Amino acid sequence: MVYLHFMGLKDLLGLQLGRRDAILNIARSRHAIWVGLLLVFSAAMAREYDRHWLVADWWHLLLPFGASIAMAFVQFVLFWFRRDQVESGATFCQSFRAFLACFWMTAPLAWAYAIPYEHFLAPADAVAANLWTLAGVSLLRGVIICRVLQVIANVAFWRALLISALPAQVVLTSLIGLTPMPILQLMGGIRYTPEEIVVRNATGMILFETVFVGWAVIGASIVALFGTRTVFSRTDLIGQTHMASIGAYALPTIVSLALIVCLPWTQPPWQRAYQADKLVRNGDIPSALAFMNQHPRTVFPPDWRPLPKTSRYFDHPNLIDMLKHIEVLPSDAWPRRYYLSELERAFLSGHLEYLPDDMLPEVIALLDQLPDAAELKQRYAVKIEEVRELYGLQPATTQSTQPSTP
């Protein structure tokens, strides 16, 4: 006789609480993987529904699937190849499917990413809130996954914790090693925006952890790995068919539909931002400036910063290229004010002399040509004069906004 057992919402909640019976019910259910797919999609929607224009950047919805499968596979393999060959009767595919289903069942924690901090907090506070949410969700998911491995691989929790930290620490160390440091910005003493300061502080904490703590974690993880023997529980128990309840399918479907309903309000600002950035990337600066000026700043995303990135001096178009076309806009246009403020923040408030040699004359020439820059020239007169003397640049004799005539 075949007995039907259902994996339902009770098990989904129980897994978040680390209950052994809930973890085993999900691991034994051949339908849990499909519920997991829906949950991951709902988590992707929660992360991206108000961060990208999904018509053009739809591929962002696929990233959680690829990232979660890769991370789950690496974590699983570390345990699988330390299994006891004699006592384990589960196949690789059966066990990985069971683990991946449990891994995906932690996706509801990522629904916290749907909180639109940008709409009710100051920009810097919104960045900090998003980073704390990311840290909290990551920590909780890590603890739950360790509990899952403890149950289905029959290992001590502390071993599961250390071994699970190994791939994450290796990836983190590799990313820090491969990420180029912004030397010009560091030498130039650029004044960062409040949002950038929050991100840089978080990056500094990660770098500290990677350098001073990370290798100790890796060493302890390797010791724990080689001292571990796992006995995977069979997931295809004879005489039992574990199906998923209607409620288990309905919950992620309802959450995804609710986020989709929000798209008519969240997507238009990102569509406009995408169109403006695309024009900049294509080098059509006049059209980009005109497009931005057609709309008030409030109809664009609150946390959007128009291209180009001021820290990438050697890209084209760069900030100087944008400012060369800025006079096509009225003096009170918000894009004009924005790019002039970026000129002050990224170049003038730091050590101007550290800019690339071929860019300095262009910056000085812009300051001489733009009537809006009179206040900036007065504010940074000493620094500008030092740069003129250092590079032999002649001071401007006139300042005119009229085009020259032949």
Residue 224: per-residue pLDDT: 62
Residue 349: per-residue pLDDT: 77
pLDDT tens digits, one per residue of 28-40: 888 899 999 999 9
Confidence of residue 237 (pLDDT cuts 50, 70, 90): very low
Q: Is the pLDDT of residue 271 over 50?
A: yes
Residue 226: per-residue pLDDT: 67
Residue 5's CB: how many other CB atoms inside 10 A? 13
Q: Is the pLDDT of residue 298 over 70?
A: yes
Residue 400: per-residue pLDDT: 43
Q: Is the pLDDT of residue 254 over 50?
A: yes
Q: What is the chain's length?
A: 406
pLDDT tens digits, one per residue of 383-396: 888 878 877 777 65
Q: Is the pLDDT of residue 5 over 70?
A: no
> Rounded mean pLDDT of the chain?
80
∠ CA 242-244-245 to the nearest 5 degrees?
125
Confidence of residue 290 (pLDDT cuts 50, 70, 90): very high
- Which of 99-113, 136-150, 227-241 is predicted with the least confidence, judged by mean pLDDT? 227-241
pLDDT tens digits, one per residue of 309-364: 876 777 788 888 899 899 889 988 999 999 998 888 888 876 676 777 778 888 88
Residue 206: per-residue pLDDT: 58
- Which of 47-56, 95-104, 148-157, 277-286 is predicted with the least confidence, judged by mean pLDDT? 148-157
> What value does the mean pLDDT take over residues 127-151?
87
Burial letters 250-263, b for 16+ CB under 10 A, else e: ebbeebbeebeeee
Residue 95: per-residue pLDDT: 85
Confidence of residue 1 (pLDDT cuts 50, 70, 90): very low
> What value does the mean pLDDT take over residues 168-191?
55
> What value does the mean pLDDT take over residues 138-162?
85
Residue 306: per-residue pLDDT: 94
Confidence of residue 178 (pLDDT cuts 50, 70, 90): low
Residue 315: per-residue pLDDT: 78
Residue 187: per-residue pLDDT: 42
Confidence of residue 405 (pLDDT cuts 50, 70, 90): very low
Q: Is the pLDDT of residue 270 over 50?
A: yes
127 token code pair: 């960045």
Confidence of residue 200 (pLDDT cuts 50, 70, 90): low
